[in-house]
Amino acid sequence: TWQIASLIEREVEAIREYVGNRRVICGLSGGVDSSVVAALLYKSIGPQLSCIFVDNGLLRKGEVEQVRNEFTNHFKTDLHVVDARDRFLDELAGVTDPQQKRKIIGRVFIECFRTEAESIEDAHFLAQGTLYPDVIESGANADGPAHTIKSHHNVGGLPAELGFELIEPLRDLFKDEVRAMGLELGLPPELIWRHPFPGPGLAVRCLGAISEDRLVTLRDADAIVIEELHNAGLYREVQQAFAVLLPVQSVGVMGDARTYEDTLAIRAVETDDFMTADWYPLPYEVLQKMSTRIINSIRGINRVVYDISSKPPSTIEWE
Ligand code: XMP
């Protein structure tokens, strides 16, 4: 790790030199890349860093608290958490089309981010967690099929029109180097190894119309899937796993009563690059634990199914 330590030293020097005494805004997404950028900037320029985290109400369980804890208690950054949960819910009300959801979320995110960023006086730079593979992709292959099938939206995708000068300290790095750097900077391993999560968050895993109730259901079910994956020692065997709440009700029975409730799908995939992926054969005992816990403890779900589709022709996400 001395290579990583010296890489960090070089980055820190370069950032200090480039930024001088100006202020940098860093958008946090809860993911690895933006967290590493923020930690690196904090080490470089400390109080000249302001972080913005938009709570869109579409995050995984505990995510907001983790970001808050990491970037106010551990790294004492000037963290701005924008509570935009109601705003997103209102804008998404009644929307069922996946592309429409993505568009709305992308637009509202930028609006929220912009408003908060503009409230930070003397901000000059906007830091982005662009990695080397992103740089390559956005060049030669920008029109490749994987990029046009779904409109992707990232914290890294903020438009230039926000009017800040961009800095991208991870531009020359690969994911494994970013992870190593994050660990060396003192970010917790759980964060460094956390499965990727799409910008539109739970919205694209809550099929059909989104409501606060459905989001709570999905978030709780997802937390059980992830917890059981950890319990089985399989979290790092799969590259991504999650729950999907389907817009499908089916008949069940509880005691003497007939029920008519929601269906939840479990997804777990093995992949090198997320461009192709195989469904992962979770052991029956693990699936059984997930299913039993979800059905017993989450109100409104009476059926759990396992997604056994690979990409292509499926995608990893359902929307
Ligand atoms: P798909 O579903 O296209 O997903 O097979 C491939 C990988 O990309 C993630 N993903 C997204 N990430 N914004 C993101 O930042 C998005 O809109 C988005 N859509 C999918 C997905 O979670 C998987 O890791």
Complex prediction ipTM? 0.98
Identify the pLDDT of residue 253: 95
- By the 10 Å C-beta count (0-12 exposed, 13-18 middle, 19+ buried), 278 is classed as middle
Across residues 256-279, what is the average pLDDT? Answer: 97
Band the pLDDT of 36: cuts 50, 70, 90.
very high
Indicate the range of 119-133, 138-152, 255-269, 292-306 predicted with least confidence: 138-152
On the question of pLDDT at 146 being above 50, the answer is: no
pLDDT at residue 142 is higher than 60: no
Mean pLDDT of all residues in 19-36: 97
Please give the distance, rounded to the nearest whole angstrom, from the Cα atom of residue 13 to the centre of ligand 1: 34
Give the contacts of 225 (CB within 8 A, at least 6 positions apart): 241, 242, 243, 266, 290, 294
pLDDT of residue 139: 62
Q: How many CB atoms lie within 10 A of CB 312?
A: 12
Q: Determine if residue 125 is left, alpha or beta; phi over 0 gives left, psi from -120 to 50 gives alpha, anything else beta.
A: beta
Tokens of 289: 């634990």
SS3 161: helix
Cis peptide bond upstream of 312, omega within 30: yes
Average pLDDT of the segment spanning 58-74: 97
pLDDT at 145: 44
For residue 161, what pLDDT band results from cuts at 50, 70 and 90?
confident
Which domains occur in the chain, in start order? 2-192 (3.40.50.620), 206-306 (3.30.300.10)
CA distance 304 to 281: 16
Using alpha carbons, select from 302, 241, 293 the residue that is nearest to residue 267: 241
For residue 305, the cross-strand partners are 265
pLDDT for position 137? 74
Q: Looking at the predicted structure, is the pLDDT value of residue 153 above 70?
A: no
Per-chain mean pLDDT for the chain: 93
Tell me the CA end-to-end span of the chain in Å, nearest whole number.
39
Cα(252)–Cα(110) distance, rounded to whole angstroms?
A: 43
Supply the residue whose CA is at minimum distance from atom 12 of ligand 1: 198
Which pLDDT does position 140 carry in this prediction? 45
In sequence order, which ranges of the chain are alpha helices (DSSP H)? 2-19, 32-45, 63-68, 85-92, 98-118, 132-139, 145-149, 175-184, 189-192, 212-231, 284-297
Measured distance CA(188)–CA(191) in Å, rounded: 6
Q: Which of 126, 140, 139, 135 shows the shortest CA–CA distance to 172?
A: 135
The pLDDT, as a whole number, for residue 157 is 59
Which atom belonging to ligand 1 lies closest to the Cα atom of 195? 24
What is the distance in A from the centroid of ligand 1 to the CA of 319? 9
Whether the pLDDT of residue 148 is over 50: the answer is no
**Cβ–ligand 1 contact at 34 (below 6 Å):** no
Report, as an integer, the average pLDDT of 224-243.
98
Query: What gap in Å lies between CA 18 and CA 1, rounded to an integer?
Result: 26
pLDDT higher than 50, residue 144: no
Ligand 1: which atom is nearest the Cα of residue 197? 22
Q: How many angstroms separate the CA atoms of 31 and 18, rounded?
A: 25
Per-residue tokens: 203: 């919205």
Q: DSSP labels for 65-133? A: HHHHIIIIIIS--EEEEEE-HHHHHHHHTT---HHHHHHHHHHHHHHHHHHHHHTSTTEEEEE----HH
- The number of angstroms, rounded, from the C-alpha of 222 to the middle of its chain's C-alpha atoms is 13
Residue 159: predicted pLDDT = 67
99 has pLDDT over 80: yes
Burial 64-100 (b: 16+ CB within 10 A, else e): bebbeebbeeebebbbbbbebbebbbebbeebeebee
Mutate-to-test residue for ligand 1 from 274, 278, 311, 319, highest number of ligand atoms within 8 A of CB: 274
Quote the DSSP letter at residue 164.
P
pLDDT on residue 134: 85
Residue nearest atom 21 of ligand 1, based on CA coordinates: 198
